[in-house]
Structure 1
Amino acid sequence: MPLMQRLVAELFGTFWLVLGGCGAAVLAAKFPETGIGFAGVALAFGLTVVTMGYAIGHISGFHLNPAITVGLWAGGRFPAKDVVPYIVAQVVGAIIAAFILLQIASGSPDFVLGPNGLAVNGYGPQSPGGYTLGAGLTIETVLTFGFLIVVLGATDSRSPIGFAPIAIGLALTLIHLISIPVTNTSVNPARSTGPALIVGGLALQQLWAFWVAPIIGGALGGFAYRALAGDPPAAR
């Protein structure tokens, strides 16, 4: 596919991920009796990946995440020249989704754009469970590393055909089930950037951590899978 078509697909796919995942957290998880809770939010994020995998996987590869793009490059699956354009498209899609989510959420008389609005990521006072910066960096790095192993393994040409979006979506669901209490789960710098830019303040000050840890984890995961599995004849 031409680069421009792939970039548009990445923009829309990341928009869908942030609108669906963060939207579930902001709009559907806050009600004590009828809300979907942490498990529902985790599933929502997983479903965005599954649906986009089948919708745009054949166009752009459905990275939807700068850490995935860097990890695929590190794993020998993605050309270096396309890394930055993909990341820019992903961040733009996330920002658009966060802005639209703000417009929707503002339609409720109870909505207040506070420090924890729009499902921002954070540590310390921004962490749902009050976890430290060290805990946040550790879990984001380790879980992104594992996520890349799943992504590269599921899309390996030697893996069963047609199931990659399901495996990747379930992996993202699992990741959220583990880490929502710690950082509100990023493993995706674009997902963190959109809401943080809208909310500002402490969310924006802490944003660096949700670029550094996932990018490091993604790159390490890519290198590790390549060392473990070798270079396949082709990659889907």
Structure 2
Amino acid sequence: MKKALAELIGTFTLVLFGCGVAVVGGMGDEITTVNLLGIAFAFGLSIVAMGYGIGPVSGCHINPAVSFGVWLAGRMSFGEFIVYVISQVIGALLAAVLLYLILSGKASGWDGGLGQNGWGPDTVGGYDQTSAFLFEVTATFVFLVCILGVTQKGAPNHFAGIAIGLTLVMIHLLGINITGTSVNPARSIGPAVVGMEANPLAVQQLWLFIVAPLIGGGLAGLFFRSGLLGLDED
């Protein structure tokens, strides 16, 4: 239960502050408008904060693709994987609901956006499905290589949270204009489901932000399990 609660709180924090900054920062009439760098750091700093806050309890996966990669790497049981994913999705949904309630209080109104992921001509960058899929698979693979690398036995992991958070910042800097950056099925599910009335297309495109990150995370997990990546344990 401690691990499940930790994963719920961690994913809740990531979605609330990451997606929240993306939405509020995009409202041009605010006191300050957050640019791409600010949004990227909001997601990255959420990881840093939760990495040190709940990392000692659950490992701070807060992402089904991370848990999938960790399971395939042989570092957790299948039962734990299922519990983690359920907790993560619940945390993302709760965060999206809270964000919806907060944004609903804006006097001038807002367009109903909750930081949903997507692709196509109506998105910011206008990239197609192939671009979105390739980016999400590759970015999640790189993310898991960092995570599995800095948390393996024998690695100097005192700064693991910072390394992982900065890697997520790097990923967002490239991906925001391509897909809005997911690399995390739970992060995509929460805003898409809660905001489906305003943006039904996000739900239709949700499959990509579940499948692609799981492929990328799974590949990284298999690389570490096979010994192709990772330290030799002599």
TM-score bin, normalised by smaller chain = over 0.9
Q: Does 1:5 align with 2:5?
A: no
1:55 counterpart letter in structure 2: G
- The equivalent of 1:15 in structure 2 is 12
Change beyond 3 A, Cα 1:130–1:80 = same
- The equivalent of 1:74 in structure 2 is 72
- 1:145–1:220 Cα contact (<8 Å) kept: yes
Deviations 1:136-188 (CA, angstroms, capped at 9, x unpaired): 00000000000000000111122213111000000000000010000000000
* RMSD of aligned residue pairs (Cα, Å): 1.7
- Structure 1 moving runs of 4+ over 4 Å: 230-234
Q: Distance in 1 between matches of 2:43 and 2:216?
A: 19
**1:42-57 mapped onto 2 (5 Å cutoff):** 42-57=40-55
Deviations 1:80-128 (CA, angstroms, capped at 9, x unpaired): 12111110100000000000001111111233344xx111000114532
Q: Does 1:175 align with 2:171?
A: yes
**Secondary structure in 2 aligned to 1:181?**
coil
Identity rate, percent: 48
Q: Single out whichever of 173-182 and 79-88 deviates more from structure 2.
A: 79-88
**1:150-169 mapped onto 2 (5 Å cutoff):** 150-169=146-165
TM-score, normalised to structure 2, is 0.93
Q: Which runs of 5+ in 2 are unaligned?
A: none
More helix by share: 1
TM-score, normalised to structure 1, is 0.92
- The equivalent of 1:59 in structure 2 is 57
- 2:133–2:208 Cα contact (<8 Å) kept: yes
- 1:121–1:183 Cα contact (<8 Å) kept: yes
1:229 counterpart letter in structure 2: L
Q: Which runs of 5+ in 1 are unaligned?
A: none
Count residues with an aligned counterpart: 229
Change beyond 3 A, Cα 1:50–1:97 = same
1:19 counterpart letter in structure 2: L
